[in-house]
């Protein structure tokens, strides 16, 4: 996703977030898939669960962040 497109998407996003997204193609692909998903909330919940499991596995914590 071109950086100029990101700048136009949401003027509230900090420049650092836009730059990071522009430099990381996987983030752009993920955002596009979320936007196109039939049930984006369900997909976000699944993604959150995966990230939570990965994070807990590295830190040894057992509590789920909310």
The pLDDT tens digits of the residues spanning 17-35 come to 878 888 998 988 888 888 8
Listed by start position, the domains of the chain span 3-58
Model pLDDT, residue 28:
80
For the chain, percent of residues with pLDDT exceeding 90: 17
Q: Which residues contact 34 (CB under 8 A, 6 or more apart)?
A: 40, 43, 44
pLDDT band at residue 8 using 50, 70 and 90 as cut-offs: low
Alpha carbons 40 and 63: distance in angstroms, whole number: 25
Model pLDDT, residue 4:
61
Model pLDDT, residue 1:
56
pLDDT at 42 over 90: yes
């Amino acid at each position: 996703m071109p950086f100029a497109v990101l700048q136009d998407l949401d003027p509230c996003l900090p420049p650092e977030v836009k730059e990071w997204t522009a430099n990381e193609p996987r983030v752009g692909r993920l955002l596009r898939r979320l936007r196109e998903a039939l049930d984006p909330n369900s997909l976000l919940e699944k993604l959150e669960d995966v990230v939570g499991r990965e994070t807990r596995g590295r830190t040894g914590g057992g509590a789920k962040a909310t």
